Amino acid sequence: MPPVEADTEARIPPPWPSDQTALLAFHQSEWQSNILRRDDPAETSYGVTLRFLETADLNDLVELHQAVVANLPDRHIFRSDQPDFLADHIERRGATVGAFKEGRLIGYAVVSFPYQDPDNLARFTDLPADEALRVAHFDGAAVHPDFRGNHLHQTMNQIRGHYALLAGYHHLMGTVSPLNPYSLGNHLGAGFQVIGHAVCYGDMQRYIIHRKGHPTSLQRPRNPEDKELISCPVDAFFEVSEHLAHGYIGFAVQRTSSGKYLLQMALRDTVTSDTNRAFRT
Ligand X SMILES: CC(C)(COP(=O)(O)OP(=O)(O)OC[C@H]1O[C@@H](n2cnc3c(N)ncnc32)[C@H](O)[C@@H]1OP(=O)(O)O)[C@@H](O)C(=O)NCCC(=O)NCCS
- Minimum CB distance to ligand X, residue 12 (Å): 23
According to the binding rule CB under 6 A, does residue 152 interact with ligand X? Answer: yes
According to the binding rule CB under 6 A, does residue 153 interact with ligand X? Answer: yes
Residues 189-248 that bind ligand X (CB under 6 A): none
Query: Site map for ligand X, 16-55, x if CB under 6 A?
Result: ----------------------------------------
- CB-nearer residue toward ligand X: 153 or 243: 153
- CB-nearer residue toward ligand X: 176 or 271: 176
Interior/surface letters 186-225, b for 16+ CB within 10 angstroms, e for the rest: bbbbbbbbbbbbeebeeebbbbbbbbeebbbeebebeeee
Closest alpha carbon to 139 in 117, 120, 155, 165: 120
In three-state secondary structure terms, 63 is: helix
Distance CA 121, CA 29 (A): 29
Give the range of 43-51, 93-101, 150-158, 227-235 binding ligand X by CB under 6 A. 150-158
- CB-nearer residue toward ligand X: 86 or 152: 152
The count of residues interacting with ligand X (CB under 6 A) is 18
User: Which residues of 26-150 form beta strands (DSSP E)?
Assistant: 30-36, 45-52, 94-101, 104-112, 135-143
Residues 170-189 that bind ligand X (CB under 6 A): 176, 180, 182-183, 186
Distance CA 87, CA 59 (A): 9
Q: What is the DSSP letter of 95?
A: E
Give the range of 21-29, 151-159, 190-198, 220-228 binding ligand X by CB under 6 A. 151-159
Q: Which residues bind ligand X (CB under 6 A)?
A: 68, 77-78, 141-143, 148-154, 176, 180, 182-183, 186
